[in-house]
Chains A and B, each alone.
Chain A
Amino acid sequence: MKLDAKIPSGPIAEKWDRHRFEVKLVNPANKRKFSVIVVGTGLAGASAAATLAELGYKVDAFCFHDSPRRAHSIAAQGGINAAKNYQNDGDSVYRLFYDTVKGGDFRAREANVHRLAEVSRNIIDQCVAQGVPFAREYGGYLANRSFGGAQVSRTFYAAGQTGQQLLLGAYGALSRQIGSGNVKMHTYTEMLDVVVIDGKARGIVTRNLRSGAIESWAADAVLLCTGGYSNVFYLSTNAKGSNVTATWRAHKRGAGFANPCYTQIHPTCIPQSGDHQSKLTLMSESLRNDGRVWVPKQKGDKRASQDIPESERDYYLERKYPSFGNLSPRDIASRAAKEVCDEGRGVGPTGLGVYLDFADAIKRVGESTVAERYGNLFDMYERITGENPYKQPMRIFPAPHYTMGGLWVDYNLMSTIPGLHVLGEANFSDHGANRLGASALMQGLADGYFVIPITLGHYLASNPLEKVDTSHESFKAVENEVREKTKKLMSMKGKRTPDSFHRELGRIMWDNCGMARSTESLKKALQRIPALRAEFWENLNVPGADGDTNQVLENAGRVADFLEFAELMCMDALTREESCGGHFRVEHQTPDGEAKRNDEDFCHSSVWEHQGVGKPATLHKEALVFENVKLTQRSYK
């Protein structure tokens, strides 16, 4: 596996411009001769499919939902960053670039991040033109709010539903292209494999989730925009359907998987209430603008929050990180919550929770202003917990939320399989070891609206592709493999459901490869996962038939892939002998408990090459070169 990041030469601020000039273009009249498959219709997929169709490419888009609008981008709450400097508070492209590299604990590729910061401005313009109703000030101009890890106010938002509004914008653009016949939309269709012919990605094999039909689709290029793998933990803030299948199957066909151990644990989620719990609900990070995080100073203090006097409260984020306080980056805030809970100072019935208190904010600006800012979040909290956050502090606890790792891509967003491009959360490119708040929406849309339309043209124009259709033997071979696997899943007739395996896997991953990882815990996980996988393939029970809607079967296929992927994730975590961003190895910490990087040995992205299930994957390294940002110990104190 050769890793050539294809970073353009020249000063960082000129690389993207220079690249856009140097890439080969496809003549407008020729674009319709090229076909592109887009898998996933979240922010990255919908924006890419729409934009490519606007340019004239023939696009086939796929999603497993009943509508492209249901992709999980819709659930993003807080906002989207852009270096507009509308607040005149010192923001710039360079500052957004710098904040993102630093926030990612110096494990991202500089050139990609700078490009992201550059196009961030165009994204806001584009979305406003589409009719995305961002929040505005009374004068009619766009409003901004602050987010963790930045000291400028650069986050654009639409109440607590920014992801929804941006996705509806992209979905609108996509719908327009579907309506005019330039995109063929395939809903209820799940991608189950990539087809590689002569070393190039030439199509996919899918299962129709209504009829069970296994079908092949050929194209000149394939774009995976299939999101992240937080559901490897079973309980996460992701949608129930979010899965690793598309990227994992591509990995098994030769795409390198980079930094799978970089997972983000979001600090502000509603704590688990019982074993029946099916998912965890995020409370937007924007709440930390006005909420203050605290726990009792005393261990095991079981008094109700209002009975604990001010002097016996520990506002630990403000205490430990005075300059960023409650707006410390996510990894730091999460770990700090874990620490106080480990010390026995956690709150709530399980002791796994900390308070997020709005009493001061309500005193300062009034309940109605707080309601205007966060009303929908407060309502949601009350619906789930039955507690009123205007009257008593919220209880929050960290939960898996986002995965920075993903398929390795070069500067053109192309994986190690030529023709297979990966966009959005599914790739590894821009966030290093930790993502800053309000940057996921930015990256998904940057990739889809502004990057892939340029770089995909370059691939198509510079690679002669032979005509291939689905009658090619490679398609038939992959189809057969997929059919066999489905048949196998249906035929075991064991005792356990896919969900019970998933829950058990999630427990293993959360306990051993979660917020804090050690050699010992990772080795334990690496022992238990293969055993669980073996049991899965003997003792699984999938009722019903496969020629029909069968949600258990859909789930079984996804759990099967998580069971393979989890092993790689633990292996990556074990190999990375340092702490950085969301990856915290207990062996590597400073005396005061902060993450300690090892730049000498680990200033690289770890890219794994598949060698077969159960066999150790081969590690390749892409060295990270920092020419513009000086590597420092990240400090938010």
Chain B
Amino acid sequence: MNITLHVWRQKSAREPGKLVTYKRGDVSPDMSFLEMIDVLNEELAAKGEEPIAFAHDCREGICGSCSMMIDGMPHGPQDLTTTCQLHMRTFKDGAEITVEPWRAAAFPVVKDLIVDREAFDRIIQQGGFVSVNTGNAQDANAIPISKEAADKAFEAAACIGCGACVAACPNASAMLFVSAKVAQMAELPQGQPERYRRAKKMVDQHDAEGFGACRNHYECEAACPKGISVRYIAQLNRDYLKASVAVAEHAGRSSGPG
């Protein structure tokens, strides 16, 4: 296959970037998109040029590292597929492909196609967990959980934290990410004690990071490589409303570290 790539090159966050064109012959349809770039990078390195920096690790669609806007779509044109699992057979011979990093104020570019997604971690740190110390747990079968609830929690928990939802959103909102984590816990009895506090704190952190507000375009759901549903956003809206309007802040007792 012959492919023409227009790749965003940017040395660092401080310097401006631009699209650079690379012509590729000899692309095998069995290559993954990243392997196609690997081969290009080997050639660039052999010429003493800097290879294209891009985030990747597991290459089996689960670590959430890869983050490329391919032809204007996060992770490219194939549904439910991360960039690392996207294969060149998806493209036509002679295709021109534009590759850009995720674009969001909360995801500053580090280099070329790599962006900083630590805003996601800071959101999780505000409550994306059940506060249970190791050793506290009772027997795993002590609380029956309906299969339906467990499956719904799992569907929400399938989020890989790649940021495609933010990349796709016309408003660079991370509501799908936040809602998936909140919903996972909201579906389970273990998540109930902190349910509203969690929703409130995580959304407030989302806003503080500079993500935009959801305007129900649903681009996120279409872009999500794990098919996470926007119904979790509606659920989050309800929980957030209740947390803000009906739950009083409570000074409580501090319980020391942890």
Contact = CB atoms under 8 A, between A and B. Distances in A.
Given A131-B188, A274-B28, A72 B58 contact: yes
Given A86-B141, A274-B30, A75 B63 contact: yes
B109 to A, nearest CB: 11
Contacts of A384: 32, 85, 87
Interface in A32-59: 32, 47, 50-51, 53-54, 56
B213 to A, nearest CB: 24
Contact of B63 (A239, A380, A551): A239
Interface stretch (A168-176, A504-512, A527-535, A592-600): A168-176
A210 B157 contact: no
Interface string B119-160: 011001111111111111111110011110011011001101
Contacts, number: 234
Contact of A450 (B63, B85, B134): B134
Interface stretch (B35-43, B95-103, B167-175, B214-222): B35-43
B58 A69 contact: no
B134 A131 contact: no
A47 B127 CA distance: 17
B129 A383 contact: no
Contact of B157 (A133, A180, A273, A379): A133
B232 to A, nearest CB: 14
A277 interface: yes
Contacts of A89: none
Contact of A383 (B12, B34, B65, B81): B81
B136 A129 contact: yes
A425 to B, nearest CB: 15
Nearest to A143: B147
Interface in A159-182: 159, 161, 163-165, 168, 171-173, 175-180, 182
Nearest to A124: B140
Interface in B25-79: 28, 30-32, 34-36, 38-39, 42, 44-46, 48-51, 53, 55-65, 78
Contacts of B140: 84, 124-125, 127-128, 134, 142
A239 B58 contact: yes
Contacts of B35: 276-278
A520 interface: no
Contacts of A171: 124
Given A75-B62, A128-B137, A139-B144, 12 more contacts: A47-B134, A54-B134, A66-B116, A72-B57, A75-B60, A84-B141, A172-B124, A176-B258, A180-B257, A384-B32, A384-B87, A551-B51
Nearest to A140: B144
A548 B11 contact: yes
B210 interface: no
21 contacts: A72-B57, A74-B62, A75-B63, A122-B137, A125-B140, A127-B140, A128-B140, A131-B153, A133-B157, A134-B150, A140-B146, A158-B157, A175-B124, A177-B258, A240-B59, A276-B28, A278-B35, A281-B59, A384-B32, A499-B42, A551-B53
Contacts of B62: 74-75, 161, 163-164
B184 interface: yes
A413 B12 CA distance: 41
A279 B160 CA distance: 20
Contacts of B60: 75, 237, 279, 281-282, 380
A448 to B, nearest CB: 9
A472 interface: no
Contacts of A380: 60-61, 85
A372 to B, nearest CB: 10
B108 to A, nearest CB: 11
Nearest to B43: A497
Interface in A63-110: 65-72, 74-75, 84, 86
B69 to A, nearest CB: 17
A136 B34 contact: no
Given A50-B134, A75-B58, A131-B130, A549 B63 contact: no
